[in-house]
């Protein structure tokens, strides 16, 4: 089987933004300084900085309930209590999964390291705090037939939106891109339609080939649908537009995917990342080298990509049934 990813022929809702929380006094100033450092000096993307802000606003609000007004008086016990509070939702927010709790702790550690380096605190109370143990789970991927049904469902109907949604989902599956990378594309980013230039995490750029199904869908959208959507806007260069002629948001793209999944009769959880997982899984199943898939996904480390090489439960059952003398 070819290692090229061919388009087959044949629910969880996105997380809502946390409520605004007032952060007062020295914590407010320290938080603003740190977020500015992440954005300006470290050059992190707006999405990454927003994620840090959500976690750190929650942390600062928790510290406020303990009477802390600055970073200098925080103890290791305070950080440990915060980790436990967000894990259980005891601080009034939603409970976090082990992976989300680990992400929040990473944000807290970064803030404390910054405070120590800037002389805002003598030590780092988060240094010895450990995150909850995370279970290593196989990424969820759709079958080839389910992907085909999803993409067909996205293009069902009349008007410019089905053509836009078909092109969007075809491109997501063809490239394995993150949803933020796809909605961030401009028209000139697809060039001659044979490849796309994606701007990934850390502002790292990569070029990913595009198969014929996605090329045809994007071409049809550009010729027949995008002009009608662009007429309502002000000449944005964005590839994918909303009904107001402006750049499509991640939330709108997510909603388009959910609607297509419902029409396709997919009852399992389907997110934009599901198509990314499916892209990687189908490539590796077709014999692609894991390091090539790493480059296509934009992973900094091959270790991140290697999770896709783990044997799935279905594959285990098939091998067992075929090989064990008493399996039948």
Whether the Cβ atoms of residue 220 and residue 167 lie closer than 8 Å to each other = yes
Tokens coding 28: 């407010």
Identify the three-state secondary structure at position 48. helix
Give every CB contact of residue 219 below 8 A, 6+ residues apart in sequence: 193
User: Could you give the dihedral angle defined by the CA atoms of residues 263, 267, 273 and 274, in that order, rounded to the nearest 10 degrees?
Assistant: -100
Backbone angles phi, psi at 94, to 5 degrees: -75, 145
Among residues 178, 226, 247, 282, which one is catalytic?
Answer: 178
> Has 193 been annotated as catalytic?
no
**What DSSP string describes 137-164?**
-PPP---HHHHHHHHHHHT-SSSHHHHH
Among residues 201, 206, 250, 263, which one is catalytic?
Answer: 201
> Has 273 been annotated as catalytic?
yes
Backbone angles phi, psi at 199, to 5 degrees: -105, 105
CA distance 238 to 39: 23
Among residues 112, 226, 247, 276, which one is catalytic?
Answer: 276
CA distance 168 to 148: 14
Residues in the chain: 328
280: left (phi over 0), alpha (psi -120 to 50) or beta: alpha
Among residues 273, 291, 317, 320, which one is catalytic?
Answer: 273
> Has 276 been annotated as catalytic?
yes
Q: Which residues are catalytic?
A: 178, 201, 273, 276, 299, 308
């Amino acid at each position: 089987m070819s290692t090229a990813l061919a388009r087959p022929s044949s629910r969880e809702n996105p997380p809502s933004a946390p409520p605004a929380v007032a952060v007062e006094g020295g914590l407010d100033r320290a938080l603003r300084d740190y977020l500015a450092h992440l954005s300006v000096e470290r050059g992190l993307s707006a999405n990454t900085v927003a994620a840090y802000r959500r976690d750190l606003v929650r942390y600062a609000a928790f510290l406020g309930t303990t009477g802390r007004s600055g970073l200098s008086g925080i103890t290791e016990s305070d950080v440990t209590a915060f980790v436990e509070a967000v894990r259980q939702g005891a601080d009034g927010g939603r409970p976090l999964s082990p992976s989300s709790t680990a992400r929040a702790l990473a944000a807290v550690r970064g803030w404390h390291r910054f405070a120590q380096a800037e002389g805002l605190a003598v030590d780092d109370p988060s240094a010895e705090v450990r995150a909850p143990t995370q279970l290593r789970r196989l990424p969820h991927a759709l079958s080839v037939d389910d992907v085909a049904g999803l993409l067909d469902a996205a293009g069902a109907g009349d008007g410019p939106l089905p053509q836009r949604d078909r092109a969007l989902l075809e491109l997501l599956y063809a490239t394995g891109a993150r949803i933020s990378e796809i909605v961030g594309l401009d028209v000139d980013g697809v060039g001659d339609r044979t490849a796309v230039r994606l701007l990934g995490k850390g502002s790292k750029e990569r070029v990913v080939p595009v198969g014929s199904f996605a090329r045809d869908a994007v071409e049809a959208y550009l010729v027949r649908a995008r002009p009608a959507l662009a007429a309502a806007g002000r000449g944005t260069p964005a590839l994918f537009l909303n009904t107001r002629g402006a750049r499509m948001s991640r939330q709108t793209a997510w909603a388009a995917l959910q609607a297509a999944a419902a029409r396709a009769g997919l009852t399992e959880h389907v997110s934009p990342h599901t198509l990314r997982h499916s892209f990687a899984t189908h490539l590796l199943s077709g014999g692609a080298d894991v390091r090539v898939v790493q480059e296509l996904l934009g992973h900094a480390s091959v270790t991140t990509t290697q999770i896709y090489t783990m044997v799935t439960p279905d594959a285990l059952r098939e091998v067992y049934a075929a090989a064990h003398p008493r399996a039948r």
